[in-house]
Structure 1
């Protein structure tokens, strides 16, 4: 039979589990931040090209 867990052990276990979860969330957040930044840059570039009113030949050359 296993001995009962004390508060210190339980606290350490919970902290470890939460830490792993936070690490995954931080990684996902950083990834999403980079993707959003790229999407914003792409949008600005598309808007810039559209503002130039290129013809079909110019668009094909891009």
Structure 2
């Protein structure tokens, strides 16, 4: 599993944890079609994250 803020950094949506925090708190990130405001949300394989107009699917090994 990987946390939402870490995933956003890993896929390159943001460059810092602070940037991820603001993006998430502002309601600009969706997980599986629902706005997610918890940066510590644990993602599992198959989850789909939508941020800044791009969609990313969490793969089995944590990759997108």
Q: Specify which structure has the bigger relative contact order, considering alpha-carbon pairs within 8 angstroms and separated by 6 or more residues.
A: 2
Instruction: Indicate the structure with greater helix content.
Output: 1
**Superposed pair shares fold, TM > 0.5:** no
- TM bucket normalised to smaller: under 0.3
TM-score under structure 1 length normalisation: 0.25
State the TM-score, normalizing by the size of structure 2: 0.24
Greater strand proportion: 2
